Amino acid sequence: MRSQAVTEGHQARGLLGGAFDPVHIGHLCGAMAVRDALGLDRVDLIPAAQSPLKDHSAVSAAHRHEMLRLAITDVPGLGIDARELDRSGPSFSVDTLVAIRREAGANCPLLWIMGTDILPTLPRWSRWDQILDLAHVVLLDRPGAEAPAEPVSAWLERHLVSPEWALRHPAGGIVRLHQPLLDISSSRIRDLFETGRDPRFLIPTPVMEYIATHGLFTPAL
């Protein structure tokens, strides 16, 4: 799709997948950074039903979806696409992109957001080399991210484009955005809960209250 220009009337759409177990301010800041840097009307957060590279989520899909809903309430331009929660089996990103591309049409720029810490794992993704046939990739810097090995490093160098190019084409490019680095992860937050430490300010207040109300992420007695 790299040679196909976008026709007028097709609004670019940002997409951020993840377990969101739980959602934290790093997720939200990343989504908002892409929204603002690329002037997007909407970035959808896509919770996975079952992450293929993880054994299981710490809490149920219903809880993760509700925490996402609370987190983005009153945040302009952020939404939720829950299609993976309605699909059985592992949540493969390429399957989600196939479905979204079918709905959006051939000319809509789709922007799949991921952190640079994900790059070394790409060879383990299902059909990872087909992602750029369906969307652009927007890379956000992550603290301590390892440089990817071949073939990912060559793939990255070969497909780097400007944000302006990505917004004029439906798919095929990789955009690198530099944002303030936030050393926050869902696994770190779960560890704070499990060891009795306080993770406030790392997650939105409504999400913190929801976790407390439902007793999530606490060690089993």
pLDDT, position 115: 93
Between 108 and 54, residue with greater pLDDT: 108
Around Cβ 38, how many Cβ atoms within 10 Å?
20
Provide the residue ranges of all domains of the chain, joining segments of one domain with +: 13-211
pLDDT, position 220: 60
Q: What is the pLDDT of residues 116-156, one digit of tens each?
A: 999 999 999 999 999 999 999 999 988 888 989 989 999 99
Contact 40, 34 (CB under 8 A): yes
pLDDT, position 9: 46
Please give the CATH topology (third level) of the domain spanning 13-211: Rossmann fold (3.40.50)
Give pTM, 2 decimals. 0.91
4 pLDDT band, cuts 50/70/90, is low
For 196, the token pair is 């009795």
> What is the pLDDT averaged over residues 51-58?
80
Phi-psi region of 90 (alpha: psi -120 to 50; beta: other; left: phi over 0): beta
Confidence check: pLDDT of 172 > 60: yes
